[in-house]
Every structure is written in C-alpha cells, then in structure tokens.
Structure 1
Amino acid sequence: MNASLYLAAFSGGALTLLSPCILPVLPFVLARTGRPFRQGTLPLLLGMALTFAAVASLGAVAGGWAVRFNQFGRAAALFALAISALALLSPRWADRVTRPLVRLGDRLSNHVGRDTGWVGSVLLGVATGLVWSPCAGPILGLILSSAALAGPGVETSSLLLAYAAGASLSLAVALRAGEERFAGLSARLRSSAWPRRVLGSAMLAGVAAVAAGVDTGALARLSLDWSNGLEQRVLQALPMGAAAADTVAGGAKGADGPRGTPSGLPVEPIRPDLSGAVNWLNGQPLDLQQLRGKVVLVNFWTYSCINCLRTLPHVRAWAQTYAGQGLVVIGVHTPEFAFEKETGNVQKALKRLGITYPVAQDNDFAVWRAFQNQYWPALYFIDAEGRVRHHQFGEGGEVRSEQVIQALLREAGADATAAAPVVPDTRGPGLAADLRNVRSPETYLGYRQASGFASPSRIASDRSKVYTLGRLGLNDWGLKGAWTVGPEFVQLDEAGGAVAIRFHARDAHLVLGFAAGHGPIPFQLTLDGRAPGADHGDDVDAEGHGAIDATRLYQLVRQRGSIDDRVVEIRFLDAGARAFAFTFG
C-alpha cells in the first residue's frame, strides 16, 4: 500500500488532539498523570491505541456481530470507568456498594496509592480504547471505507494502528509538555480529597458524555467545519493526491477480477423487506425474493430533502448505467412532512426529477423500520442472494458506492469491468454541498422543531399573530406580517408578509407550499436588502422574482463569489403561503 496513506493515517490521528471528540476521554488519560512516564502514560496510550485499532478493524470488516460485541465492550468499559470515578469521589461509599468492582476501580484510577505499575495503566488504556470515538473526518473515513471494501487484512489493521499511534503520540507530547503542571498530582491524590473529587467528577462527566453519544454527536458536529478542511489539506499535500484517495476509498476487492470474484464485503445484520409499502409508482410492486439473482440498490429518500436531492443524480446515473448488467434500483419514499404522503405530490416530483425506476411509498414507515433505517438519504446495497452487504448514510461517498455496485455485480457473475465513475448531471440542487463554507444548520419553522426564532415577540402556536422582524444574528430567523405558526409550517394570513434568515453557506433553500384554495403565489426575494443579481438560485431570477407553484424545495440563493453571512428575505404577495424549513449547502 502507498506509504503516503500510512503518513496520512498517522497525521489524521495526530490531529485528533485538536478535535473536540478527544475531550470526553481526557480525564481517563489524566488519571495516570503523576506517575513515571514509562509506568503511567506510555502503557496507557499503548493500550488505548492497540484496543482502538483492534476494535475498529473488527467493526469495519466483520459485520453486525462485531458491532454488538463492541457495544458490549464499550458498556463494560464505561461501567468500570464509572466505578473508578465513584471510588475517587467517595471510596467509603463505593466500597459499600461493591467491593470487588471497587478494587478494579482502585487499580484503574490509582487513587489509593497502590503501585500496580504498567499493568493498571494498560488496563485503563484498554478501557479508554473501547470507549474512544474519534471525530470521523476525511482521513478516518478514507481508512474505514478502504477497510470495508478491501476486507480483513494486515493493511487495514496497520492503517488503523497508524491512526491510533498518531493520536497517542500527540497526547503523549501534550502531556509531556505539561508534565510540570501535573507534577505532584499523584501525591495530592493520596493526601487531599478535593483533587480526587475534581478528577472523579471529570471522569464521570467523560463517562456520561460517551454514554450519551456526545462524542459522536454534538462534538463531532463542532469539529466538521475546520478540522475536516485541515485533514483534507493534509490528504492533498501528500503524494497520493485526491485522485489516489478516491481510488483507495472506492476500490473494492475483486473489482478488476474475473466474474464471480468475491467482493470481500461483510453481510450486515438486516433482513430487508419491502412488503410494508402502501403504494408503488413507476411499476408494479416488487418483492426482494423475486429479485434473487439481481443486485439491488435501495434508496431511502423524500422529495423535499436537499441531501436526498444531491444524491439523486448519482442514483439515476447508476440505474441507467448498470441496469443491463443486473442492477435494480428501488426508491423508498418515506415522508418527513405530511404533504409528502400525497401520491399526487410524489408523482409530480418523480416527473420533475426525472426518476423512472420503481418507487415504493412508505407512508407508514414500515419499510423504514424493516431496514432499521434512521437517515435521509440512506443507500442499502443488496447482493444477488438478498443480503445487505453495504450501506451509505447521508450524501457523499459516491465513488465508494459505485465501486460497491461493481463489486457485487461481478460477484453475481456480471462482466462489470471497473471504470471511471459515472458523471451525472448535478445542476441546480443536485450539486454537492460546499461543506467547507456551511455554517448554518437545517432550520425548521413549525413550532414542533423550531429553533433560532428571533422576532421580538414570542411564537403564538396555532393562531394568527402579527410579527415584526428584529435584528438577526447568524442562523436566526424571523417573521414579518400576520402569520399562523403550526407544528410543521408557518402560514401567511395576509398578503405582504415575509420570512427572513441570516445564514452562511453557498446555497440557501426553503421548502414552500400553499394552503388549499390558494396558489400559485408570487414572491419577491432580497439578499441583504437588494435584488440577488448573480447570486440568485434556480427558482428565482436576478431581480428576485419567483413563485410557489407546488409544495417542494426551492433553491433561493447560490452565491457565485466569496461566501459571507447574508440575510435572505422572502416577501409573499398573496396570502396562503406556507414555509416549512430552510436548508443550506
């Protein structure tokens, strides 16, 4: 394997020190400060690195049983770390609760001064490695993608070990640099109660953060904007380059081999079932049993979801390119909003979006539950024997997804020669998001999920009220005029009302519609108080004129120059307009 990839893996691990996802495990690492480096920090970091590499290697290639095993290991490690933290807070209380586990906690936390040496540090490192979930940036994503497609092997484990070694080295350097600050900490832990309680509280906070998923949720989102960009620059600076990175991320085992070559992809613990669909469009109902011998791609989507719309060009292209080689693409339309349940609306969307492959309407979420799905969009890759072999949650990963399709087709006996990825038509909302410049989240306007409302007066649920626009901070939105705020949308009661938001992104979209008996409804858009000019979106002209012609997603803004904070305001010329959610890209 290219040595540059090992360097990238090591560099990505080292950069985790700058990522918020390292915060929950720092108290566990600090629990061994004050000891000699070779007895405390070094064995702890070695245990952490080896455990992370082993568990990540297993999870990347071994399927569902490995995931369940890892979940059990994480739970056990969290329990042991919590006992250790409680022992620091109140040794007498912990001893009364359970003496055997407290002895383990004593050894892990080293709070009673017992010299367990490097063994206790390694055990604490193993527990930390089981619970550590680094923010999955481009480098770790590249490694895990390669692992899942290439199958188990020394290279997969070596890359993950290089990543963990980079993280461990950066932690070691940071701790060594600050060792004077930690000098005497061990003695204080033995002689004074308050340092033990502070460290115990920090460890409990770390356990709670990991158990609640903060390390993989909120902290991971905090890191996306700048750390992902930094990792991407590392990848581009290395000799492997972006093209080689795409090849590694997408290269499936056996992609260039003879027909019938095993793909090396694991079998996922999902029993796919389409029988819960309430209706089928673009064809007769399909049964996965009837499709045995075919490779099936199932795409969960909904037509007002911008992430889904950015994935669709690739799904359409794969359906056209590989249909003759045995690929069947099935869309599962699972609605987010009530208007997306209406068959007529979905049919119009299929025509507008150029979707000709079969689509199942999953209004009751029965198919969604059968796949244990949680995301829009979500792609599930099913082999010729009806088994789920791969998935892609969210947009992105197109090169890897296409390589998976090719690998499964070859495994089924098709002559799917690996070739350059398809180049779909990505004009309009289909263009990939400019993630480096997205500083604004999806923003719902209905009171059920509303956030960031900044009009001077509070929301009045389910009744008409006149609002005024106040000063908008970044990601704040407000209303002007007479509006009724419902659970899913806001509805204009008198002509001339407006909705506005301050955002930071290349693209701004808004899901719009109109009440029964209204529409089409014209609107006027301004960007920072002026016509948008060259920065207008597909559904608005340069003067800011647009119209609501159906309940769907409208692209309002696409900035052509530098990306700055902007205020977009949409004034509706007739009553009855409905606004559901802003999205950005």
Structure 2
Amino acid sequence: MKGWHASEGNRSMLRKRRGLGFAAIAVTAAIGAVVYCFGDIPGGRLNPTPSPIPSAAAAEYPGQPLVALAGNGPWLNTTERTPQALRGKVVLVNFWTYSCINSLRPLPYIRDWAAKYKDDGLIVIGVHTPEFAFEKDGDKVRRAVAELGVTWPVKLDSDYATWRLFGNDGWPGFYFIDAKGQVRHHRLGEGDYAASERLLQQLLAEAKAAPINEKLTGDIGKGIEAAPDWDQLRSPETYVGYRQADRLAAPQRLKRDAPLTYSLPSSVPANQWGLGGAWTVGAESARADAASAKIRYRFEARDLHMVLGARGDGTPARFRVTLDGLPPGTDHGVDTDANGMGTVTKDRLYQLVRQSAAVRARTFEIEFLDPGARAYVFTFG
C-alpha cells in the first residue's frame, strides 16, 4: 500500500486523531471499528466528552501562511519568525508532536533537507501542537527537541491557534510554501519523501532561477525512526484513556476516573486488549495504582510502541514486557532489553517490541513493577 494517497473522504479519518501514514490510514479503514456511545463498553469505544483536538477549518490552508505563522508562541531554537523574515524563502512547515511515532519517523528526512538546502534558501519550521496534556509543557518539549536533534525553529502551538489557522487535520502535516508566500502543496501523513523532496527542489529552483541538482535522500531512518513495515502492519493505533478507548476485550468494562481492580480476560482476540490489576482510567490515560498492574494486547506488526507517562514524583517506574508469555529476546525494542525489562523515566513514546524475524501475530503483555506510571496509547510500525 505504499504510495496510497488520502482523498478528501479518507482524510476525515484523521480528524481528531493522531497522524497516520497513508498506508496506515488504509489499514485502519480495512480493520474498521465499532463505536459505542454509552458509559460502559464491552469492546467498543467510550467517548463521553468531545475531543479537545479541533477538526479542520473551512479552508484547507490560509491565503497568507507566513502571517498565520506569526503571533502566538513562544518559539524554540529562534526568536519569533516574522513574515518579513520569511519573505523570499521557501518554507516547509511541519505540524508535529513529540510523542507521536508518525511525527518521529519523518525527522531524519527533515534533518537532512534542512542541512542540504539551507544555502539554497530553505527554511524549515516545526509547529509543535500537542495531543496529550503533558505535551503542552514547554520544558518537556524543549528537552524533547534537543534529544531528537531538532535544530530548526519550533513554534509552540499549545492552544491550537496556528493549527486552526492552517486548517490542519492531523500529525504529521506538511505545508510547502513558495518564495512568494503561497502554499503550493499540503501533505498529510508520513511517507512519500522522494516526492516531497522533488517538490522542495522545484520551489527552490523557481526562487533561484537555477536548477537544484542534489541527490534525493534515501531510506535513512534508524532505530525508533526507521520506516514502518507497511506490508506487515495489521494492528491499528489503540488508545487506553476512556475518551478514545476502543477494542477492549470482552467482558471488560472501564470505570471512569475511579480506582478498580481489573481481571485480565482469559483470551484476547486480535487487535483487542485488556487490563489486569489495580488501575485508574482517566480520559487520556490509565494509571497503574499498584505493582503488577498489567496490559495485554494481541497484535500483528513489526514494531509495538506505547506512549507512557512517568510517576508524579519523577522517580523511575520499572516494567517488564513479554511476547507470548516469554521474554522478547532478540525481538526487544530500543526501550527494553532481551529480558523485557525497561523503565519509565519521562513522558514520551517507548519502543517496546521490534520483531527481528518474520512478523507474526503475538500476545504482548506489559507488567508495571512499580505503581504510578501511565499508559496512553499503542502505536505500531
């Protein structure tokens, strides 16, 4: 499904959701979801409050995008970028958020383009628009920007002001602005990097009135930033907090904003999950209230990630993961060892599994050995 492009109808699946690659949108559409709009859900979705993420504005993007970038901030890696400072430049605007795997996997390409085309007049601007509350913390974003090697200007858009002005639909969103200050193209989702780079070369060549002859960037993603295995990706993004929770294995029901001891289902069907032990499930995340709290998920993908939150007092929270009841061995992710051990130290995305051989359906389980950590969402690659 590589190269699949989102039509306007397909783009609606992105609204109020974390961004997906184009192939992943197709996977989600193929798997489908059953939506339930009532209090306790046996395997459906619990959605008692509207999402805080605004849907797209009436316009696809603003007529004056350089003006839309000005105003509310603050900025990282630069002082505020004024429209005057951007005039005559080719600008690539990237809407992203630091805990989203779909926002992380394009970073190697953006790093390369920012360096390769700097002298040709390219300016990259990141607009960090959060999904989860912890992503609104400027200090956490600043640390993530430094750790991820994001050296270009980043505007903090915690109130969604710039998101709304652009009519953005999801993460990652890309806007290609020419030297005359007009949006020439808008792309949603990861992938199609060669096409994006060719467009940048075209816009830069127009601005300089001279050809751009740089070699296109190849497949350079490593570790957690490596491209997903779309052909083997058969599990969809799955939220744990009750606002968007779905695919909960029967007969489990979530209790909102109150502690409860859950019993794991005897079996978990494909792309479903369940809780075991003491948890408090909130709108965005579920908090492990005691040691040995567990989550089990039956998935099929090369990579399994989770967005996890640290304990309130900042002390590390240990966890252990298993695959089909055994330590992952060579199938461990960058944030676990061969024995499945890992530690939650920050609010961020953790890669827990990377299958090293042929991808097959597995039963994943994470057990928190210390209370206080939070689980937000499963994502796959």
Q: TM-score range by the shorter chain?
A: 0.7 to 0.9
CA distance in structure 2 between the aligned counterparts of 1:529 and 1:401, rounded to whole angstroms: 43
Amino acid at match of 2:213: A
Q: Which residue of 2 aligns with 1:520?
A: 316
Is 1:304 the counterpart of 2:99 in the alignment? yes
> What SS class does the counterpart of residue 289 from structure 1 fall into?
helix
Q: Using the alignment, how far apart are the partners of 1:227 and 1:353 within structure 2?
A: 31
> Aligned partners of 2:301, 2:83: CA distance in 1, in Å?
41
Instruction: Mark the CA change 1:416 to 1:342 in structure 2 (over 3 Å): closer, same or farther.
Output: farther
Q: For each residue in 1:169-195, what CA deviation from the matched residue of structure 2 results, as whole angstroms up to 9, or x when unmatched?
A: xxxxxxxxxxxxxxxxxxxxxxxxxxx
Partner of 1:295 in structure 2?
A: 90
Inter-CA distance 545–223: structure 2 relative to 1 (3 Å threshold): closer
* 2: CA distance, partners of 1:547 / 1:282: 30
Deviations 1:107-153 (A, max 9, x none): xxxxxxxxxxxxxxxxxxxxxxxxxxxxxx667759x9xxxxxxxxx
Number of residues of Structure 1 aligned to a counterpart in Structure 2:
342
Alignment of 1:102-181 (within 5 A): 141=5
1:479 matched residue in structure 2: 275
1:75 — aligned with what?
A: none
Aligned to 1:490: 286
Give 1:357's aligned residue.
152
Residue 551 of structure 1: which of 343, 347, 353 is its match?
A: 347
Question: Given that residues 233 and 302 in structure 2 are in contact (C-alpha distance below 8 angstroms), is that contact kept between their aligned partners in structure 1?
Answer: yes
Distance in 2, Cα, partners of 1:337 & 1:268: 24
1:384 corresponds to: 179
Tell me how far apart the structure 1 counterparts of residues 72 and 255 of structure 2 sit (CA, whole Å): 37
Q: What residue in structure 2 maps to residue 271 of structure 1?
A: 64
User: Residues 224-247 of structure 1: CA distance to partner in whole angstroms, max 9, x if unpaired?
Assistant: 45999xxxxxxxxxxxxxxxxxxx
1:331 aligns with 2:118: no
The alpha-carbon deviation at position 519 of structure 1 amounts to 2.5
- Quick check: 2:70–2:83 contact (8 Å CA) kept in 1? no
Partner Cα separation in structure 2 for residue 278 and residue 139 of structure 1 = 35
Unaligned segments of structure 2, at least 5 residues: 15-21, 31-59
Partner deviation per Cα, 1:526-574 (whole Å, 9 max, x = no partner): 1110010111111111111111110000001111111111111111111
Q: Quote the offset at 1:377 in angstroms.
A: 0.1
Higher fraction of strand: 2
CA–CA distance in structure 2, aligned partners of residues 526 and 226 of structure 1? 25
Q: Which residue of 2 aligns with 1:405?
A: 200
Task: Report deviation, 1:335.
Answer: 0.2
Q: Which residue of 1 aligns with 2:57?
A: none
In structure 2, relative to structure 1, the CA distance for the partners of 1:355 and 1:223 (3 Å cut) is closer
Partner of 1:341: 136
Distance 1:326 1:303 in 2: 26
Cα distance change on mapping 1:140 and 1:575 into 2, 3 Å: closer
Q: Does the 8 A contact of 1:325 with 1:414 survive in 2?
A: no
- Contact persistence 1:465–1:483 (CA under 8 A): yes
Counterpart position of 1:434: 229
Alignment of 1:419 onto 2:197: no
Between 556-565 and 286-295, report the one with greater CA deviation.
286-295
Higher helix share: 1
8 Å CA contact retained: 2:114, 2:124: yes
Cα deviations by residue, 1:14-38 (Å, 9 ceiling, x for unpaired): xxxxxxxxxxxxxxxxxxxxxxxxx
Cα deviation code 1:65-95 (max 9, x no counterpart): xxxxxxxxxxxxxxxxxxxxxxxxxxxxxxx
Q: Counterpart of 1:537 in structure 2: which amino acid?
A: G
SS at match of 1:583: strand
In structure 2, C-alpha distance between the alignment counterparts of 1:138 and 1:222, rounded to whole Å: 9
**Conservation of the 8 A alpha-carbon contact between 2:252 and 2:274:** no
Say whether the 8 Å CA contact 1:310–1:426 is kept in structure 2.
yes
User: How far apart are the structure 2 equivalents of 1:214 and 1:368?
Assistant: 20
Once the two structures are TM-superposed, the CA of residue 215 in structure 1 deviates from its matched residue by 11
Identity of aligned residues (%): 49
Tell me how large the CA RMSD over aligned residues is.
2.7
Partner SS, residue 525 of structure 1:
strand
Point out the more displaced range, 438-447 or 280-289: 280-289
CA separation in 1, counterparts of 2:74 and 2:205? 32
CA contact (8 A) 1:307 1:376 kept: yes
Q: 1:140 to 1:338 in 2, by over 3 A?
A: closer
8 Å CA contact 1:289, 1:386 repeated in 2:
no
| Equivalent position amino acid for 1:480 in 2 | G
Separation in structure 2 between the aligned mates of residue 350 and residue 217 of structure 1, nearest angstrom: 28
What is the identity, as a one-letter code, of the residue corresponding to 2:104? L
2:366 maps to: 570
Q: Distance in 1 between matches of 2:288 and 2:123?
A: 43
The 2-side partners of 1:519 and 1:415 are apart by 56
Structure 2 Cα separation of the partners of residues 298 and 223 of structure 1: 22
Task: Choose 426-435 or 335-344, whichever is displaced more.
Answer: 426-435
Secondary structure at the counterpart of residue 83 of structure 2: coil
Checking the alignment, whether the CA contact within 8 Å between 2:114 and 2:152 is kept in structure 1 is yes
8 Å CA contact retained: 2:62, 2:165: no
What aligned pairs does 1:28-107 form with structure 2 within 5 A after superposition?
Answer: none
Q: SS state of the match for residue 296, structure 2?
A: strand
Partners of 1:458 and 1:559 lie apart in 2 by 31
Work out whether residues 455 and 468 of structure 1, in 8 Å CA contact, stay in contact via their aligned partners in 2: no
Counterpart mapping for 1:531-550 below 5 A: 531-550=327-346
SS of equivalent to 2:264: coil
Compared with structure 1, are the counterparts of its residues 300 and 573 closer, same or farther at alpha carbon in structure 2 (3 Å cutoff)?
Answer: same
Query: Higher mean Cα deviation, 437-446 or 288-297?
Result: 288-297
| Contact 2:61–2:168, Cα closer than 8 Å, also in 1 | no
SS of 2:114 mapped into structure 1: helix
Give the match's secondary structure for 2:117: helix
Aligned to 2:300: 504
Q: Is the 8 A contact 2:310 2:346 kept in 1?
A: yes
Distance 1:558 1:331, change over 3 A: same
Farther-moved stretch of structure 1 (281-290 vs 391-400): 281-290
2 CA distance for matches of 1:215 and 1:383? Answer: 24
